[in-house]
């Protein structure tokens, strides 16, 4: 049995190599017409390469795919110009399988490198927004520092300010702002309800009044918080930034309509008869069957899109420990039915029940008393077959 499983896995590796070379189609974007492949629908159920023209000054191109009329981001990819390259085309591999006969919004954004002066201006502006927000939520009272909002809300707003501030910028390293660290949260905790009465002894040589010295002490705490926030934001400006130059949004673009799809399976499985680990009785053999996906409009999740109802037959009968022949009802071969899960695009793990009939002791025909149900587990290769006439598509653009 181990030899058969090894052979199946080797076949799957060879199959996957062939699939990897063939599964990426090329889709050409026409900027002027705001269409793909001269108005053809986007590929469904397969990965593809999105290609288009760029001017030499463009250093970065980003692709965003959303469900039509929705803010839900399904896929984001980017192309960056390599050093010394003067290419006039970009190419972004889209490793997200679009659903057949569905609509998507596709946004293509073009970025140019920014000058140092522009980055300095952005830094100054962003620091100003952050400082203004901190001054708004951190309040100095007579004897303590108070926060106007929960710490979690403050950090969320600070993160939002940064992300909105750099929304029109990208970087060639694809480094995203991770959000403010636990160090900022800890600093906020330390100044929340902080007693500043000790500040009257702060800078005793100062000409300020005791209350003034308390305010100075509190302001120093707030200044330290701002410096920490600035420091964490500065990491953004250490990347090779590029500013948004142009963007093109294609709304409600349709994918190809594919009908009559059936998945055929060929694999190897084992059936448990009885016994325990030390005295195990089982049968194994090649299988052939079909799978019906559970993923649909009712169950649109990624898990269900990979899960299927699988059924089929073993290609030979079994012998039990009494040397009796175990066949199956109706078709004269062991019949299985179970749940399958796609481990890879081509490899499916299945488990369920096998229906066996002891033909040695059973009377002619089907007798429910002679039919037994035993568990099985197996691996199979998938082959998707399209039935009927070609693909149909329709589309609308804005």
pLDDT at residue 316, rounded to an integer: 92
Q: How many separate domains does the chain show?
A: 3
198 and 134 belong to one structural domain: yes
Do residues 107 and 248 both lie within one domain? yes
Tell me, rounded to whole angstroms, the distance of Cα 209 from its chain centroid: 59
pLDDT at 302 exceeding the cut of 80: no
The predicted structure's pLDDT at residue 103: 94
The DSSP bridge pattern shows strands 144-147 and 138-140 to be antiparallel
In sequence order, which residues have a C-beta less than 8 Å from that of residue 345 and are 6 or more positions away? 16, 19, 23, 382
Between CA 172 and CA 94 the distance in angstroms is: 18
* pLDDT tops 70 at residue 259: no
Percent of the chain with pLDDT over 70: 81
Helix 182-191 / helix 151-165 crossing angle, nearest 10 deg: 130
Question: How far apart are alpha carbons 130 and 137 in whole angstroms?
Answer: 11
- The rounded mean pLDDT for the chain is 83
pLDDT for the residue numbered 132: 96
When mean pLDDT is compared across 112-116, 127-131, 319-323, 369-373, the lowest value belongs to 369-373
CB 139 within 8 A of CB 92: no
Q: What is the pLDDT of residues 149-162, one digit of tens each?
A: 999 999 999 999 99
Q: Among 186, 220, 254, which residue terminates a domain?
A: 254
Q: Please check whether residues 87 and 185 belong to one and the same domain.
A: no
Residue 80 sits in the same domain as residue 157: no
Based on the fold, state whether residues 172 and 65 are members of the same structural domain. Answer: no
Q: Which domain holds residue 379?
A: 261-386
Q: Does residue 41 form part of some domain?
A: yes
Is the same domain home to 99 and 141? no
Report residue 241 as tokens.
């930034």
What is the reported pLDDT for 187? 93
Give mean pLDDT, residues 308-321. Answer: 90
**What mean pLDDT is predicted for residues 87-98?**
92
Q: Is 395 helix (H, G, I), strand (E, B) or coil?
A: coil
Tell me, yes or no, whether 151 and 195 share the same domain. Answer: yes
Q: pLDDT tens for residues 179-192?
A: 999 999 999 999 99
Which of 55-69, 208-222, 313-327 is modeled with the greatest confidence?
55-69
Tokens of 225: 């918080």
Together in a domain, 99 and 206? no
Asked if residue 3 is part of any domain, the answer here is no
Residue at which a domain ends, from 222, 254, 286: 254
For residue 151, give Cα distances in angstroms to 57, 64, 129, 180, 390: 43, 32, 18, 12, 58
The pLDDT value given to residue 359: 77
Domain with residue 348: its CATH number is 2.40.160
Q: Do 312 and 288 touch, CB atoms closer than 8 A?
A: yes
Q: How far apart are the first and last CA of the chain?
A: 58
Any idea how long the chain is? 398
pLDDT in the model for residue 299: 46
Q: What is the pLDDT of residue 332?
A: 85
pLDDT score, position 369: 59
- In terms of phi and psi (left: phi > 0; alpha: psi -120 to 50; beta: otherwise), the region of 223 is alpha
Measured in whole angstroms, the distance separating CA 160 from the mean position of its chain's CA atoms is 22
Tokens of 48: 């593809």
Q: For position 152, what pLDDT does the model report?
A: 95
């Amino acid at each position: 049995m181990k030899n058969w499983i090894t052979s199946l896995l080797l076949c799957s590796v060879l199959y996957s190599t062939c699939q990897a070379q063939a599964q990426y189609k090329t889709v050409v974007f026409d900027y002027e017409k705001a269409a793909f492949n001269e108005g053809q629908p986007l590929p469904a159920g397969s990965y593809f390469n999105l290609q288009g023209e760029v001017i030499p000054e463009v250093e970065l191109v980003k692709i965003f795919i959303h469900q039509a009329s929705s803010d839900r981001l399904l896929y984001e990819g980017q192309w960056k110009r390599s050093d010394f390259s003067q290419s006039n085309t970009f190419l972004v591999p889209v490793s997200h399988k679009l659903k057949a006969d569905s609509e998507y919004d596709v946004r293509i954004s073009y970025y140019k490198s920014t000058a140092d002066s522009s980055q300095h201006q952005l830094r100054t502006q962003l620091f100003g927004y952050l400082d203004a927000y901190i001054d708004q939520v951190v309040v100095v009272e007579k004897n303590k520092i108070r926060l106007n909002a929960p710490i979690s809300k403050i950090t969320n707003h600070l993160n939002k300010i940064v992300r909105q501030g750099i929304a029109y910028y990208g970087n060639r390293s694809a480094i995203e702002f991770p959000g403010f660290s636990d160090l900022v949260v800890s600093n906020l905790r330390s100044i929340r309800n902080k007693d500043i009465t000790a500040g009257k002894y702060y800078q005793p040589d100062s000409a300020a009044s005791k209350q003034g010295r308390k305010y100075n002490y509190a302001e120093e705490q707030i200044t330290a918080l701002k410096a920490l926030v600035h420091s964490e934001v500065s990491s953004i400006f250490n990347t090779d930034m590029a500013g948004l130059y142009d963007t093109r949004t294609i709304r409600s673009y349709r994918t190809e309509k594919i009908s009559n799809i059936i998945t055929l399976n060929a694999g190897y499985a084992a059936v448990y008869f009885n016994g325990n680990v030390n005295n195990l009785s089982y049968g194994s053999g090649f299988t052939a069957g079909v799978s019906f996906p559970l993923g649909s409009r009712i169950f649109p999740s990624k898990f269900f899109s990979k899960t299927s109802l699988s059924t089929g037959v073993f290609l030979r009968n079994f012998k039990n420990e009494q040397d009796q022949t175990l066949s199956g009802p109706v078709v004269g071969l062991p019949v299985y039915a179970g749940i399958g899960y796609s481990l890879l695009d081509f490899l499916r793990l299945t488990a369920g029940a096998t229906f066996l009939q002891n033909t040695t002791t059973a009377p002619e025909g089907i007798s429910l008393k002679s039919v037994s149900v035993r568990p099985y587990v197996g691996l199979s290769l998938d082959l998707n077959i399209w039935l009927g006439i070609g693909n149909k598509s329709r589309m609308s653009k804005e």
